[in-house]
Structure 1
Amino acid sequence: MAEDRSSDVIVVGSGVIGLTTALVLAESGRRVRIWTREPAERTTSAVAGALWWPYAIEPRRLARAWALQSLSVYEELAARPQETGVRMVEGVMGEARLDKQGSWAAARLPGLRASTAEEYAGTGLWARLPLIDMPVHLGWLRERFLRAGGTVEARTVTDLAEARAEAGTVVNCTGLGARELVADPAVRPVRGQLVIVENPGIRTWLVSTDAVAGTTTYLFPQPDRLVLGGTTDDNEWSQTADPAVASRIVERCALLRPEVAGARVLGHRVGLRPVRDAVRLEREVRRGGGVLVHNYGHGGAGVTVAWGCARVVLDLVSE
């Protein structure tokens, strides 16, 4: 007699959105499998600078709620940074003002204040936020998922019908892959390039935006390295690091933190953010039975909203 898999869930994709979603579903008692073309360490999520901040993604009101739910989780995980990869770190969000953040900011971010001239030359906010070491965090998510009874299968999916044939519920967390997999031209790449250097002693993060030049420059200190960024190249598909771009990133960072100028380069990273005008987070009941839930299009905010979106998926699956 064939095994009944109508109550099974298959999550397609193993970036931070896919892993977090699969984990939340597995810990709710469901039998969950992840189908992934590549391991988490080779996804766009592994390249992310990974500073939690309520970035402007749509739908904005819902995204703010998803972000705050995720913040609560990261605050708890930061108690075990070596295990989870999550630390609470202080730094400056440049070109941000307290009066533009809304009432949530003071309520949820203790110590949030305007930055001083010594901390940042322009207008900015001093904040203590989750900063996530993504290779460590992705590994922790996968191990916790496996402990919850989940399984990970290396599988390239070219048609979601393959997954629907094996599970009653399929969750599409394919990010940029959704462009082809579900024929959604609204999702597009925004290329980000990073430079990884030895940390010359920087302990605080910094994000600085130059509206005239159209650049965002950032420095994120991780336990064994310093991440320098970055770029936001819309509709650019190249995943090869450009040496000239890397040099400009280091130059911009050195203007903000001069000690970076002599730091030894450890490597280069390129990731394609899966940007969409609005996150697609919705449920479809398929003709002939079965449920398909979409959870993609988070752009560069995947880490920020991952846990909130995963809980929405759980609600949608449970309907």
Structure 2
Amino acid sequence: MQRREFLRQAGATLAVASTAALAGCARQTLVPAATKPPLAAQLESGVARLAPIRAQTDRITGIYVCTRPFRAAGPRIEMETLGNKTIVHNYGHGGSGWSLSWGSSTLALHMAQSTGVHELGVIGCGALGLTSALLAQRAGLSVRIYAKALPPDVFSMRATGLWTPDSRICDAQHAQAFGDRWETMARTSYGMYQSMLGLPGDPIEWIDGYHLPDMTHSQQGESVSDEPDYGDFSERIRDLTPETITLPVGSTPFPQPVRRFTIMMFNITTYARMLMSDFQLAGGKIIVREFTHPRELQELPERTLINATGYGARALFSDDSIIPVRGQTARLIPQPEVNYALSAPRLNVVPRRDGLLVQAFADTGSFNNSDLTPHPEESEAAVRQLAGIMASMRSA
């Protein structure tokens, strides 16, 4: 069950990364926030320093809920003719929208280009819509985005912000058929993200994280998840990420053995603003408009459209294959000195620049749940759990 929880929230790439021998060469200690170490854990005389998180409920600045668009067979990336329009669908990426966006949108663009058009319409302004539009511009097309909402008011902005390319991407039954396409998308996206490292505002950066096992000896194994078995593709891209290292007691501030992993993180606020700015500076147009039926698309001047409406495609195209998976995060006041992620039983923390994201989760209740009502008590309980973890950590 511990592996399942970690897999569902952080993606299979982290969950099954190979574990090296116990590494005790560097003792890791907790340091006061005022020291403000650099973005990577600082090594000084063999000591890696971790700043404490100020885990207090009165530091919650917002609670955000979204629905991940899961499709058992994987995302829909295919072409369809509707009336006098060619629609290229690019939606249904589960918890991997940001992670796979460049690779998925590359496939969608190639389909759109096969129609021979020079003007393209993109429906949606989230992760998939923005990357589709930018790639089309770079290919020489004139592009217009149509969207009912713009960042920050799109579901993509409520994601946790970790590179988790196989998070709820398909179910295990469809994994073999989908594997090659997934790997192409993952590797294409990874290469694009590497080209963005070091840009102003750090839209993309690498961080370390620590996975804390359950030390309560609770009977979690008796809990049965209501989610399906998801496709696991981690072996296909094992060469792209560093190995996970098991650190014994005494080598970290934590009172138990932990697994240290390294992962890419999206500072989504900065990243989305950069994508929007790049699109508009290149002459892209954005029209705010909501579509309630596919026939309304016939009114648009573009002959070819990319449909990147995410979960919205369920209603717009009556696609009942999209299953909503509810997710809720709380955002704490930013702490620039906190540069590490945490994964603990039923809890994840992501140290984004716009705030520390605290995510609580359970085995049941999220799958096929479209409720967007925030539940503050869940987030407050998660922050208190995080406070307990901080209290258990040894200071220098």
- Asked if TM exceeds 0.5, the reply is yes
Distance 2:258 2:392 in 1: 22
Distance 1:157 1:139, change over 3 A: same
Whether contact under 8 Å (1:205, 1:219) holds in the other structure is yes
Whether contact under 8 Å (1:7, 1:169) holds in the other structure is no
Residue 27 in structure 1 maps to residue 138 in structure 2:
yes
- What is the DSSP-based 3-state SS (H/G/I as helix, E as strand, rest coil) of the residue aligned with 1:191? strand
Counterpart of 1:218 in structure 2 is 348
Distance 1:148 1:259 in 2: 51
| Structure 2 spans left out of the alignment, 5+ residues | 1-115, 171-177, 214-232
Distance 1:77 1:199 in 2: 22
Whether contact under 8 Å (1:206, 1:218) holds in the other structure is yes
Distance 2:343 2:194 in 1: 21
Distance 1:161 1:29, change over 3 A: farther
Shift of 1:123: 6.1
Whether contact under 8 Å (1:71, 1:130) holds in the other structure is no
Counterpart of 2:387 in structure 1 is 254
Whether contact under 8 Å (2:143, 2:285) holds in the other structure is yes
Residue 168 in structure 1 maps to residue 168 in structure 2:
no
Residue 141 in structure 1 maps to residue 275 in structure 2:
yes
Q: Provide TM-score, normalisation by structure 2.
A: 0.55
Counterpart of 2:185 in structure 1 is 66
Whether contact under 8 Å (2:358, 2:379) holds in the other structure is no
Residue 15 in structure 1 maps to residue 112 in structure 2:
no
Counterpart of 2:155 in structure 1 is 44
Distance 1:74 1:93 in 2: 24
Distance 1:139 1:45, change over 3 A: same
Which of 172, 186, 203 is the matching residue for 1:85?
203
Q: CA RMSD in A?
A: 2.7
| Structure 1 spans left out of the alignment, 5+ residues | 261-319
Q: CA offsets per residue over residues 66-109 of structure 1, 9 Å max, x none?
A: 12221221122121141x622221223567xxxx942632x222
Distance 1:259 1:69 in 2: 41
Counterpart of 2:235 in structure 1 is 102
Percent identical across equivalent pairs?
Answer: 22
Q: What count of residue pairs does the alignment treat as equivalent?
A: 242
Residue identity in the other structure for 1:69: T
Distance 1:44 1:259, change over 3 A: farther
Distance 2:158 2:120 in 1: 27
Distance 2:297 2:311 in 1: 18
Distance 1:103 1:236 in 2: 31
Counterpart of 2:343 in structure 1 is 207
Residue identity in the other structure for 2:157: A
Counterpart of 1:230 in structure 2 is 360
Distance 1:93 1:151 in 2: 43
Whether contact under 8 Å (1:203, 1:221) holds in the other structure is yes
- What is the DSSP-based 3-state SS (H/G/I as helix, E as strand, rest coil) of the residue aligned with 1:42? coil
Which of 92, 115, 130 is the matching residue for 2:264?
130
- What is the DSSP-based 3-state SS (H/G/I as helix, E as strand, rest coil) of the residue aligned with 1:73? helix
Residue 157 in structure 1 maps to residue 291 in structure 2:
yes
Distance 1:240 1:206 in 2: 26
Distance 1:48 1:259 in 2: 29
Residue identity in the other structure for 2:296: E
- What is the DSSP-based 3-state SS (H/G/I as helix, E as strand, rest coil) of the residue aligned with 1:161? helix
Distance 1:170 1:156 in 2: 15
- What is the DSSP-based 3-state SS (H/G/I as helix, E as strand, rest coil) of the residue aligned with 1:49? coil
Shift of 1:152: 0.8
Distance 2:286 2:276 in 1: 8
Distance 1:224 1:177, change over 3 A: closer
Which of 167, 178, 187 is the matching residue for 2:322?
187
Whether contact under 8 Å (1:75, 1:130) holds in the other structure is no
Q: CA offsets per residue over residues 175-223 of structure 1, 9 Å max, x none?
A: 1111111110111221111111134642211233x4xxxx3x2111122
Q: Provide TM-score, normalisation by structure 1.
A: 0.68
Whether contact under 8 Å (2:124, 2:146) holds in the other structure is yes
Residue identity in the other structure for 1:241: P
